[in-house]
């Protein structure tokens, strides 16, 4: 089965001298070389799992402009395993970043930080117009 493409954002932070993505709500660090895994089996009746929006537009509607300008990293994730489809997005057992976005409203420093994070997660940086 092909992965489902989702759209989400992360905080970023440093841990042991390395930049990592961090989930907004759980505070969990996303690993560089392996997928993020849900803490449980991600059954339909549970609320666990890794969440993402179903479109980039829904992600943009959710995020205030200050966040789009550079306080968080925005991008795409591939999701697989047990995947549940909801009205505005998905909840999955496994997920891995597949691209990060930069835009003209971000500072050069923010773009460089996102570039370093992209190298560490081995994903491309996509220029978008906001």
Q: How far are the Cα atoms of 2, 50, 60, 92, 130 from residue 69, in angstroms, in the given order?
A: 32, 24, 11, 28, 9
Domain boundaries, the chain: 4-33+53-78+94-128
* pLDDT tens digits, one per residue of 26-37: 889 999 999 999
Residues 6+ apart with CB under 8 A from 95: 6, 35, 36, 50, 52, 77, 78, 79, 80
pLDDT given for residue 101 in this prediction: 92
What is the chain's mean pLDDT, rounded? Answer: 87
Burial (CB count within 10 angstroms: exposed 0-12, middle 13-18, buried 19+), residue 10:
buried
pLDDT given for residue 57 in this prediction: 81
Of 56-60, 63-67, 102-106, 118-122, least confident by mean pLDDT is: 63-67
| Distance (Å, whole) CA 8 – CA 45 | 22
Kindly tell me if the per-residue pLDDT of 41 is higher than 80: no
pLDDT given for residue 67 in this prediction: 58
pTM of the model: 0.88
| Distance (Å, whole) CA 32 – CA 20 | 8
């Amino acid at each position: 089965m092909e992965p489902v493409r989702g759209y989400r954002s992360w905080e970023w932070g440093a841990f042991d001298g390395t930049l990592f993505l961090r989930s907004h709500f759980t505070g969990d660090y996303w690993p560089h070389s392996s997928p993020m895994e849900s803490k449980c089996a991600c059954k339909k009746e549970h609320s666990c799992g890794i969440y993402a929006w179903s479109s980039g537009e829904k992600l943009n509607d959710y995020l205030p402009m200050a966040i789009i300008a550079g306080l968080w990293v925005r991008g795409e994730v591939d999701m697989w395993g047990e995947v549940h489809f909801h009205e505005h997005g998905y909840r999955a057992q496994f997920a891995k970043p597949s691209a990060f976005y930069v835009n003209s409203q971000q500072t050069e420093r923010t773009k460089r930080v996102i570039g370093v994070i992209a190298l560490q997660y081995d994903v491309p940086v996509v220029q978008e117009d906001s």
